Structure 1
Amino acid sequence: MTHGTMLEPGAGRPIVGGGLNATLKIAGGSDAITSTFEVIVPPGYDVGAHYHTHGEELFYVVSGQVELFAFEPAIRSKTHWSMWVSRDGRSPLHAGPGSLMHVPAGCPHAFRNTTDEPAVMLFQAAPAGHEDYFEELAKLMAGSRGQLDPDEVAKLRLRHDVHQITTLASPN
């Protein structure tokens, strides 16, 4: 007989460090093809524009406000990704509760919190295993004291099929 998973609020495996605050709700593996997280996005956090050659992601804003981006820009300029525009005129979305972003493999994307309040997002990654990236990133951020080494972040991301376009910014 197959059973699903039911979790009480707050349940799951915490992944925290250096401003990263996520709870792994469902780990990928034999029972799940995706990893599912609740992520608290602190003020000032910017994941940086990036893409995955094999991964697909889904972000759902539960509370707060974030800026979301998921398209190929007309020009990958040196300006911040929030200034990018697609060939068909799309620009990043100022997103509140109920907003959703689906990211297919190969699509540049990012999110950031420019407000003074934390935001909460439900996040799914397929294939499963993104929890390994989050755990390594949390350790790196915890040891950085707010000064992330861009080379270390780039190495970590490449190990996990995260191809960085712009820089990750942790909160001050």
Structure 2
Amino acid sequence: MTSLPPDDPRRRLTVARPDDGAHLALAGDVYTILVSGDQTDGRYCLLDMRIPPGGGPPPHRHDFEEMFTLLEGELRFTFRGEETSVHAGETVNIPANAPHFFRNISDRPARMYCMCTPAGQEEFFRQVADPVPSIDSTPPRLTDAEKAERGQRAQALAAQYQTELL
């Protein structure tokens, strides 16, 4: 039988408060980093995601697990080309490397928690998203040139964060 390693006193208790995290506007959505990889020794990160009607990321895949718990609203997840509707209270796990995306298919904003393991996705978001004052902020209206620049930045950084935009 193996024994557990000793407690690491350098690691601290983390209490995530939605107003304290970094708020980032990305692809029309607003994400708040609740718990970062810096706080979990790289084991995972936790994001609070607000998705407006019609919102959601483009198709993509990445080399880490991603789990979503829908708190409010209704989303349609497309996983390997198959669509599944998800409602408040339901949880979806996306295996590493599987192509996927989601859309808010309702006329109300949706809210969910997203856990990525291991951590790192939050750093990708920091690099490509626009900071906003709060989780309730309206994402900035970007010009076509600004949208193109964000897309080019995401493409340029994707491989560094084990992500492929499809």
Determine whether 1:131 maps to 2:129: no
Aligned partners of 2:16, 2:154: CA distance in 1, in Å?
A: 32
SS in 1 for 2:37: coil
| Gap change, CA 1:146 and 1:31, over 3 Å in 2 | same
* Aligned pairs, number: 146
Corresponding residue of 1:39: 49
Query: Match for 2:84: what amino acid?
Result: L
| Gap change, CA 1:123 and 1:26, over 3 Å in 2 | same
Determine whether 1:23 maps to 2:14: no
Corresponding residue of 1:159: 160
Cα RMSD for the two superposed structures: 2.7
Instruction: Provide the TM-score with structure 1 as the length reference.
Output: 0.71
Deviation at 1:9, TM superposition (A): 5.0
Moved segments of 4+, more than 4 Å = 140-143
Is the 1:18–1:145 Cα contact (8 Å) retained in structure 2? no
Deviation at 1:98, TM superposition (A): 1.3
Is there any run of 5+ residues in structure 1 with no aligned partner, and where?
A: 73-83, 85-90, 166-172
1:15-94, aligned counterparts within 5 Å?
Answer: 15-16=24-25, 19-29=28-38, 31-32=40-41, 33-52=43-62, 54-70=63-79, 72=80, 84=81, 91-94=82-85
Range 58-67 or range 126-135, more displaced: 126-135
Bigger RCO of structures 1 and 2 (CA < 8 A, at least 6 apart): 1
Deviation at 1:7, TM superposition (A): 3.3
Is the 1:18–1:143 Cα contact (8 Å) retained in structure 2? no
Instruction: Provide the TM-score with structure 2 as the length reference.
Output: 0.73
Deviation at 1:10, TM superposition (A): 3.5
Deviation at 1:31, TM superposition (A): 3.1
Aligned partners of 1:66, 1:9: CA distance in 2, in Å?
A: 22
Corresponding residue of 1:145: 143
**Residue 105 of structure 1: which of 96, 106, 114 is its match?**
96
Is there any run of 5+ residues in structure 2 with no aligned partner, and where?
A: 1-8, 132-138
Is the 1:18–1:146 Cα contact (8 Å) retained in structure 2? no
Corresponding residue of 2:15: 6
Deviation at 1:105, TM superposition (A): 1.3
Is the 2:16–2:35 Cα contact (8 Å) retained in structure 1? no
Corresponding residue of 1:170: none
Aligned partners of 2:110, 2:124: CA distance in 1, in Å?
A: 21
Cα distance per residue 1:78-107 (max 9 Å; x no partner): xxxxxx3xxxxxx31111101211112111
